[in-house]
Amino acid sequence: MLRFTVQATDARARAGVMETAHGPIPTPAFMPVGTQATVKALSPEDLRATGATIVLSNTYHLYLRPGVDLIQRLGGLHRFMSWDGPILTDSGGFQVFSLGHLRQLSDDGVLFRSHIDGSEHRLTPELAVRCQEQLGSDIAMVLDHCPAYGESEEEMRAAVERTHRWAERSLQARQRSDQVLFGIVQGGWSAELRRQSASFLASLDFPGYAIGGVSVGEPKRMMYQVVDETAPRLPPDKPRYLMGVGSPEDLVRCIAMGIDLFDCALPTRVARNGSLFTRHGRVGVGNARFRDLDGPIEEGCDCYTCRSFSTAYLHHLFKARELLYYRLGTIHNLRFVLRLMEQAREAVLAGGFDAFADSFLDGYRSTNEETRLAQRLSRGSISGTRR
């Protein structure tokens, strides 16, 4: 089940609520990424305390380890990871396509190699649905063909058409009535292809729509352009999910364009690398200027980390590579992003989103370094920032 209600709009920004079998998700919402059935370094209670209302997990990783059959036997993904809130799973397609493990691609599906042991596996739209039904997530995603940045228009067109055929097959393959399936709009950097894809998928009447194929290494302005052109063409009564986006300023900008749902590994990954969010931008907690700072990393922050520990202590833990740092840094960055979503939602409900967004973006220093890092991270790793 999924009931989506738009409660308020402010220009193109929306506030709403998605109701699932595992509870409501006020939108706009950000999904922390729990790639391997765990948001790295956090317990379910930690996650809840950051304000998370839904978690994303990666079918590709869980399929390979520990296996979806095992998770099904143990009562499904919610029980396995002791998270009783909503879960969205991706289809596994992004990992297969973007991370160099692809062996063979046909209309039937894809052949890929495991990043763990090199074994070969086949993934089809039907199998992606079945795996996600075995996991028992609340929201499943269709298998899509997501080309990397720099592919030709011809390749983009072929990918869109294949994505559409796969979307139809995915809908056919569904068996569980307690799980919903979202479609994914592709089309690369072509406004025309994105329009066609949005229009075709809308005709299939999915309960929600994602914009895929961004955050694959393109310049930021291109991502903004795609969202700007695509979001208004999606059905207004369905949730709109922008996959793989999640730096603070991107969240604010894309909410302004009508996006309801986001996921991204960036806030948690950069936290582990020592980069923490503040209202003035990111800071490197390992920087010598924090060595003896007695206050919290973000004055006034309501997260557990800021309420409990000095920046000097975080600096020490980070420099000493102490395990506790990874948890404390992750908690801070997630709470920062999730609080930002709460504030954005309140601003939409109060009819003051524009002023809120301007104020936040004025104060938040987005460095070129940040953009470069974000792009490098989105390309570089098996559990990339998109999905």
Place of tokens 């582990």: 272
Least distance (Å) between residue 272 CB and its own copies = 8
Does position 195 interact with its own copies (CB under 8 A)? The reply is no
Alpha carbons 182 and 209: distance in angstroms, whole number? 5
Q: Beta strands 240-242 and 209-211: pairing type?
A: parallel
Among 37, 54, 56, 357, binds its own copies (CB under 8 A): 37
> What's the one-letter identity of residue 340?
L
| Interaction between residue 287 and its own copies (CB under 8 A) | no
Edge to edge, what strands does the sheet with 110-113 contain?
102-105, 110-113, 120-123
* Structure-token pair, residue 162: 């294949």
- CA angle, corner 29, sides to 27 and 33, nearest 5? 160
Of residues 220, 282, 327, 387, which one binds its own copies by CB under 8 A?
A: 327
Shortest Cβ distance from residue 322 to its own copies (Å)? 5
**Tokens 């058409």 identify what position?**
161
Of these, 310, 359, 366, 371, which contacts its own copies (CB under 8 A)?
Answer: 310
- Residue 73 CB partners (closer than 8 Å, separation 6+): none
The residues annotated with a catalytic role in the active site are: 90, 263
Question: Can residue 291 be called a binding residue for its own copies (CB under 8 A)?
Answer: yes
Is 70 near its own copies (CB under 8 A)?
yes
Q: Which residue's CB is nearer to its own copies, number 115 or number 176? A: 115
Q: CA 136, CA 124: separation in Å to the nearest integer? A: 18
* Residue 199 near its own copies by CB under 8 A: no
Based on the shown chain and the rule CB under 8 A, indicate whether residue 84 belongs to the binding site for its own copies: no
Shortest distance in whole angstroms from residue 324 CB to its own copies: 5
Residue 195 neighbours by CB distance under 10 Å = 15
Q: Cβ closer to its own copies: 102 or 324? A: 324
**Per CB under 8 A, 312 contacts its own copies:** yes
Q: How many helices (H) and strands (E) in the chain?
A: 16, 16
Cβ atoms of 146 and 216 closer than 8 Å: yes
Q: How far is the CB of 64 from its own copies (least distance, A)?
A: 10
Shortest distance in whole angstroms from residue 254 CB to its own copies:
29
What residues make contact with its own copies under the rule CB under 8 A?
36-38, 40-44, 65-66, 70, 73-75, 80-82, 291-292, 294, 308-310, 312-313, 315-317, 319-320, 322-324, 326-328
